[in-house]
Amino acid sequence: MNRFILAFLLLSTKIAFGQSCDCASIFTEAKQIVEDNYAGWFDKVGPENGEVYERWTSSRLAEAKTIQSDSTCAKKLQEWISFFKDKHLRIKYAKPKSSTTTTQTVTKEIKILTTQITENQANAYFDDTKMLDPIEGIYTHPSYTLAITQTAPNVFYATVLTTKNEHWKPGDVKLVINKKDNVYEGTFYEGDKSDVSNHTVQLVDNILDFDIVFFEKTGPNVSIKRDLDEYVLSKDKYAPSLTFKNDVAIWKFPCFFNDSEEQTTWLLNKYKEKLAKTPYWVIDLRDNEGGDYRVGMQLIDYIYSKPIIKYNGEMRMTHQNIDLWFSTFVKSVYDQLDGKTKKELDGEIDKMRSKVGTMYNSSEKIADTLQLEKTLENPKKVAILINENTVSSGELFTMYARQSDKVTVMGSNTAGMMDYGNIVHYKTNCAAMRIQLPLDRMLWLDTGFSVDKEGLKPDVYLKGNDWVEEAIGRFGE
- Collapsed DSSP state (helix, strand, coil) of residue 407: strand
Question: Looking at per-residue confidence, does 116 or 168 come out higher?
Answer: 168
Share of residues in the chain with pLDDT > 90 (%): 91
Highest mean pLDDT among 15-29, 224-238, 343-357: 343-357
Long-range contacts of the stretch 464-471 (C-beta < 8 A, 24+)? 467/284, 467/286, 467/385, 467/410, 467/411, 468/250, 468/282, 468/284, 468/385, 470/410, 471/282, 471/383, 471/385, 471/410
pLDDT average, residue stretch 313-342: 96
Q: How far apart are CA 62 and CA 28, in angstroms?
A: 11
- pTM for this model (two decimals): 0.84
Per-residue pLDDT band at 20 (split at 50, 70, 90): confident
Q: Which class does domain 238-315+363-417+452-476 fall in?
A: alpha beta
- How would residue 52 be classed by pLDDT, with cut points 50, 70 and 90? very high
Average pLDDT over residues 351-360: 98
Mean pLDDT score, 142-159: 97
CA distance 316 to 352: 10
Average pLDDT, the chain: 93
Confidence at residue 95, expressed as pLDDT on a 0 to 100 scale: 82
Average pLDDT over residues 33-49: 98
The residue-averaged pLDDT of 368-388 equals 98
Q: In this predicted structure, what is the pLDDT of residue 116?
A: 87
Residue 238's pLDDT band, with cuts at 50, 70 and 90, is very high
CATH topology of domain 113-233: Lipocalin (2.40.128)
